[in-house]
Amino acid sequence: PSLLILNGPNLNLLGLRQPEVYGSVTLSDIEEVCQARASALGFDMTFFQSNHEGLLVDAIHDARGTHDGIALNAGAFTHTSIALMDAITSVELPCVEVHLSNIHAREEFRHRSYIAPVALGQICGFGAQSYLLAIDALASHLGQL
Ligand code: DQA
């Protein structure tokens, strides 16, 4: 089985970007720990980041038939993108929403998620650990944990 870990806008700047909010780990550090966790649970893993909404939609479409579940940190598109919501609905793959920060403890505009209603669940507030919890949640859902 295979997981897609998908990252949206500005997450390429992790480590440099607002370290007081997002910590000092980089996206490639996160990729490394995700790879280790996915392998330990018997999954192949694809890790992808884009700043472009349409490329994220394409990546979700391409996951159909190639991956068994998606962990999605859509960044700011979480709060705006009906297109990403529709893409998740369309491919009928289990999706776990991920955020490094606790979006509910931040500005009001981050409280609404278009991903949450179409996700198995949402994991936020645990920094890089949020991704590992999402992998565990997908593994459990897919019967691998
Ligand atoms: C984020 C939270 C979003 O509100 C923000 O726009 C991001 C990162 C997080 O991982 O905490 O880009 O998704």
Tens digit of each residue's pLDDT (9 = 90 or more) over 76-116: 999 999 999 999 999 999 999 999 999 999 999 999 999 99
- All domains of the chain, ordered by start, with CATH? 2-141 (3.40.50.9100)
Question: Which H or E run contains 21?
Answer: helix 19-22
> How far, in Å, is the centroid of ligand 1 from the Cα of 75?
4
ipTM tops 0.95: yes
Query: For residues 99 and 132, what is the distance between their CA atoms, to the nearest angstrom?
Result: 11
- Which residue's CA is the nearest one to ligand 1's atom 10? 99
Catalytic annotation, pick one of 67, 99, 114, 131: 99
Question: Does pTM top 0.95 for this prediction?
Answer: yes
Q: Is the CB of 122 under 6 A from ligand 1?
A: no
3-state secondary structure of 28: helix
> How far, in Å, is the centroid of ligand 1 from the Cα of 25?
14
